[in-house]
Amino acid sequence: RKEVEQDPGPFNVPEGATVAFNCTYSNSASQSFFWYRQDCRKEPKLLMSVYSSGNEDGRFTAQLNRASQYISLLIRDSKLSDSATYLCVVRRPPLGGGTSYGKLTFGQGTILTVHP
């Protein structure tokens, strides 16, 4: 089982639609959660962190369910500019001290295309 799994899509939605992506993770010790956005042939960019109580940033809402080990991203009122690949990212705590770091594990991404 992959550490982080996402539905690859593609999701094709019209402008103004609401679309939701889900992501599951296997490591129950995972500590922090993020959604990144990656445009075609560009670098991944942080979209938002995911808080335990859920959080909203404009048209974007992220939810975390630790018991079921899944994360979701809801996009309301989709824009053409939302077309991108959305990466679910999970971080485990640093293993041991010293220079260890909290490893980020990236899902393979969900492709979203918003059309006129």
Partner 1 sequence: DAGITQSPRYKITETGRQVTLMCHQTWSHSYMFWYRQDLGHGLRLIYYSAAADITDKGEVPDGYVVSRSKTENFPLTLESATRSQTSVYFCASSLTSGGGRDTQYFGPGTRLTVL
Listed ranges 16-24, 59-67, 68-76, 94-102: which one lies at the site for partner 1 (CB under 8 A): 94-102
Q: Is 22 in the site for partner 1 (CB under 8 A)?
A: no
Query: By C-alpha distance, which of 74, 76, 91, 111 is closest to 34?
Result: 91
Q: Binding to partner 1 (CB under 8 A): which residues in 63-92?
A: 87, 89, 91
The footprint of partner 1 (CB under 8 A) covers 31-32, 34, 41-46, 49, 87, 89, 91, 93-94, 98-104, 106-109
